[in-house]
A and B are shown apart, each in its own frame.
Chain A
Amino acid sequence: MTSILFFEQLLNGIQFGTMLFLMSAGLTLIFGVMGLINLAHGSFYMIGAFSAALIAGLTGSFWLALLASLSGAAIAGVLIEILIIRRLYRRDHLDQVLATFALILLLSEGVRWCFGAFPLYLDIPENLNGTLPILDDIIYSKYRLFIIFMGLLIATGLYILITKTRLGVRIRAGQNDRQMISALGVDISKLYTIVFALGASLAGLAGAMIGAIQSVEVGMGEPILILAFVVIVIGGIGSIKGALIGSILVGVTDTIGRIFLPELLKIFMEPANATSVGSSIGSMLIYILMALILIIKPSGLFGKT
């Protein structure tokens, strides 16, 4: 029984991790190439989810909704980059933090204005509903498997984009030396807009896919944004490989910790106490993990020192 539960929770953790990866890949790319901390990244997650809910409501198609989440967040990303973010690249981190904090207020209230304060719901398509037997006696939700699959697909896609294409070469060159690649004739401001929009659309897609399991509401982006920060601090800021490993680590630790820590504590505590203490510590576990990794490696697992 416990091994089945464990396996199920492990898959849940991986599913959570792949979604975290979609968020943190964008964050870490934007930081690596433009040197920008983007607190408003969670807002693109929210914008993606709302775009999806809007299109799903109009057309009834989940796939069109996913497409809408990608393009909605990308369009918002391009607009915001051109209007505001562009002016922040040369500023110090404090200005970036504050301006993007202000952007969160602006975007959250803006969305609340348009859609109202009530959560929206996004339906999982018919053929992804239900469960699928994997191995002998383990059954698992089809939709969550689909999320894992999409996450892996996008991770592979990003890998190919960064290592095999011309755009990828430019992104890597931008990470190494911004002045040099603009001196070599690359239109740097266009590159920045593309990278920002790419990050925003990945966040938007994550928002839509999670929005179908949970609900689509204002403020849904911030909790996951902070987890994405933890991920990129663990993985090393600017490293996509670090973001991938960090996401899975955080996803699995969080999910497994919340379920099994109370069980573990029941061995040597009263059950009632064990549940409350266990769930409290379980919710802190990833931060403890982050602190431990920072003690050993202050610039994260794959960060440049």
Chain B
Amino acid sequence: MIVEKIFNKWILVFLFLIPVLGFIFEEPYYITLTTKVVILGIAGIGLNLALGYCGLISFGHAAFFGLGGYVTGILSFHALNSELMFSWPFVTSGSSEMLVIWPIVILSSAFLALIIGLLSLRTTGVYFIMITLAFAQMLYFFAISWPNYGGEDGLSIYMRNSLPMINTMDPLTFYLICLCWLLIVIFISAKLINSSFGMAFQAIKQNEERVKSVGIETFKVKLLVFVISGIITGLAGSLYTDLNRFISPSVLNWQMSGEIMVFVILGGIARLYGPLVGAAFFIVLEQTLGGYTENWQFWLGLILILEILYVRTGILSLFEKKLKYEK
């Protein structure tokens, strides 16, 4: 475990160094790529809370990622058009201020997670997996068939949303904003995991009946974890829209849910930095294999299957084993 902690520190140092290097060698592309890793890592950390620590296998986290993305896209679309969003029941206009967008993203993701959670947490096991998948698919089809915001073609926003006094269009600045969010999310997750609430939801993963018998209302605990998890993934979606200045229904697709899940598993389930490492591995794989062959997903699939059949515990576990060996 100690080796893993040292490794985690190096990850952070590395994250701070990469864009600086990219800046010095004038390769903004690598900054954008690292930004993508950080954002996808945040999405994975969100899912990891529910899936890794609480055992809620959600196959529909693309719903939150996409919702965060669409809320951001729609708000800034209206701000740029200077059209009203609603004139009823109250007058609302769009906004391109990140400080306005983020709270709205948090609220709407929380609301969606609450509804999906209330319905799907009534079930367990395979039912839960399929229902979360189905809800995400429902949003996906809604996004495709709703013509106002681009439908299947997606929605472009021409300017990245802004923060006061800061030029967010600069890749390095935007990267640092995402990195701040990553640190906040890691900090909150760590606090949560070690709190008494965290003990409760980790115990639910091991034996829900026992937790019930101690007098904890497991449904409420699970619902709360699910909502927090949804909020974090939603925020990642918001940053992702700002990164690409584009949002399309493809981020709501089941494949996105699968990919977020892959980040968590590849890095190591129920490990704080696991999803980040998983996302980094995924992007590196995409960039290197994608350079050699169009069919890089074939190799991704092969690596994943081998990982699940033979390694089973993710990349970060390799650092844990070393310690046992040293003993």
Contact = CB atoms under 8 A, between A and B. Distances in A.
Contacts of A222: 254
A272 B148 CA distance: 12
Which residue, B125, B135, B147, B305, has most C-beta atoms of chain A within 10 A? Answer: B305
A300 B130 CA distance: 12
Given A84-B309, A280-B142, A108 B131 contact: no
Contacts of A295: 119, 122
Interface in A109-134: 109-110, 112-113
A98 B123 contact: no
A37 B57 CA distance: 13
Interface centre among A94, A102, A108, A109 (most CB of B within 10 A): A102
B123 A298 contact: yes
Interface string B131-147: 10111011001101111
A148 interface: no
Determine the main DSSP class of A at the interface with B: helix
Given A93-B57, A284-B141, A299-B123, A290 B262 contact: no
Given A97-B129, A105-B304, A287 B261 contact: no
A291 B298 contact: no
A299 B123 CA distance: 7
B308 interface: yes
Nearest to B258: A101
A95 B127 contact: no
Interface string A80-114: 00001001000101110111011111111110110
B60 to A, nearest CB: 11
A229 interface: yes
Contacts of B302: 102, 106
A112 B300 CA distance: 15
A102 B305 contact: yes
A288 B309 CA distance: 36
Nearest to B269: A94
A109 B298 contact: yes
Contact of B130 (A106, A233, A279, A284): A233
A283 B142 contact: yes
B252 interface: no
Contact of A99 (B51, B123, B297, B309): B309
A290 B254 CA distance: 18
B133 A226 contact: yes
Given A84-B305, A94-B51, A106 B298 contact: yes
A299 B127 contact: yes
A284 B138 contact: yes
A102 to B, nearest CB: 4
Contacts of A197: none
Contact of A112 (B57, B59, B146, B295): B295
Nearest to A105: B301
A234 to B, nearest CB: 10
Given A229-B130, A237-B127, A280-B146, A101 B262 contact: yes
A93 B304 contact: no
A214 interface: no
B265 interface: yes
Given A105-B304, A237-B126, A283-B141, A87 B134 contact: no
B145 A102 contact: no
Interface residues of B, number: 42
B59 to A, nearest CB: 6
Contacts of B133: 226, 229
| Interface residues on chain A, size class | 35 or more
A158 interface: no
Interface string A276-292: 10011011100110110
A31 interface: yes
Nearest to B55: A94
A93 B57 CA distance: 8
B141 A37 contact: no
A109 B297 contact: yes
A154 B4 CA distance: 55
Interface in B248-272: 254, 258, 261-262, 265, 269
A222 B131 CA distance: 16
Contact of A298 (B122, B137, B141): B122
B305 A226 contact: no
The winner among B130, B142, B144, B304 for most chain A CB atoms within 10 A is B130
- Which of B129, B134, B258 has the most chain A CB within a 10 Å cutoff? B134
Interface of A: 31, 37, 84, 87, 91, 93-95, 97-99, 101-110, 112-113, 222, 226, 229-230, 232-233, 237, 276, 279-280, 282-284, 287-288, 290-291, 294-295, 298-300
Interface of B: 51, 57, 59, 119-120, 122-123, 125-127, 129-131, 133-135, 137-138, 141-142, 144-148, 254, 258, 261-262, 265, 269, 295, 297-298, 300-302, 304-305, 308-309, 312
23 contacts: A31-B126, A91-B308, A98-B262, A99-B308, A101-B304, A102-B304, A103-B301, A113-B295, A222-B254, A230-B134, A233-B131, A233-B134, A280-B142, A282-B145, A283-B142, A283-B144, A284-B142, A290-B131, A294-B120, A294-B127, A295-B119, A295-B122, A299-B127
